[in-house]
Amino acid sequence: MGRSVVVSSNCQTGGLGACFQALMPQDDITAIPMITNPGQDATGLIEALCRADIWIALDYQDFLTTHAITNRNDRLQCIAIPSIDFGAFHPDLCYAGNASTNTLTLPHYNSAIGVWAYKNCIEPSDAVRLYNAASFRDLGYLDCWNSTATELRQAFVRAELPFDKFFLPVKRSGVFMYSTNHPKISALAALAKIVMRRIGEGDMIFDKPVEVSDALAGDVLWPIYPEVAEGLALPGGCYEWTFPGRTYLSGIEAYLEWSYQNYETQGIRPSDIYFNKNLDRYHSVLGPQVGV
């Protein structure tokens, strides 16, 4: 009889669950996103954990303690995993929101340069020229690989998993992210194999193919800007965005016009928009280029 395994992470949960099921076909894999908000209904996750043999999870300790899971199931083996977050391919991507309502934009992903331009009432046709190698250099877009890799390494260290065993093969594969926090299925499979090794599988697990659908490929596909691609010695690069709902945007101006319309539709005035970047740095780098 196979084991009962629960997999809990963030938006990466579904892909991880599919990878583990492919690697452990004899086991019963249940993918349930981690509950992080006290207002969320935790009943389903609690019930699954009470029956489970193994819980593979992101930041599980608080949930484990709050709901006294080990008192209900003393055989449960807990294995920590990191979230695969890596922004070096997409350093301009940011979260933005409405300061008046304290709500994020929809979709959540935004161009930081675009947000700054909207905040400063720069027309899309004028804001296009802000997307250039000098801007990217001065904003730190072209030299963030090492710091981003260090942050991811630290996440693996906290989970007590071998980072190099994960990072070296995915790095060789090229671009392994769709956005800053949406890894391709190959990266999730690499993480799953490392966890399998931790559970007790032999090194042959690393040679096992994982063929599952890539759900995150149907979400936002953020481009790698040509200047960023060149800095990373990657072929190509483009300014072409894909959003759910068959929204395809080709070119910077098309993206900016679409974003501005989105902000206006959501009632976000230029004075109210904010983002999770250093506003002063963007103002000092971009302002002189457009007379602000």
Please tell me the distance from the alpha carbon of residue 217 to that of residue 242, in angstroms, as a whole number: 10
> pLDDT tens across 118-154, in order?
999 999 999 999 999 999 999 999 999 999 999 999 9
276 three-class SS: coil
pLDDT at 1 over 80: no
Across the range 37-55, mean pLDDT stands at 94
Instruction: Report the pLDDT value the prediction gives residue 254, as an integer from 0 to 100.
Output: 98
pTM summary value: 0.94
Across the range 276-290, mean pLDDT stands at 97
Across the range 59-75, mean pLDDT stands at 93
Please tell me the distance from the alpha carbon of residue 70 to that of residue 289, in angstroms, as a whole number: 58
Q: Amino acid identity of 225?
A: Y
Cβ contacts of residue 152 below 8 Å, gap of 6+? 82, 84, 85, 86, 163, 167
Confidence of residue 113 (pLDDT cuts 50, 70, 90): very high
Instruction: Report the pLDDT value the prediction gives residue 180, as an integer from 0 to 100.
Output: 98
Q: Which of 213, 216, 214, 236 is nearest to 226 (CA)?
A: 236
Please count the residues of the chain.
Answer: 292
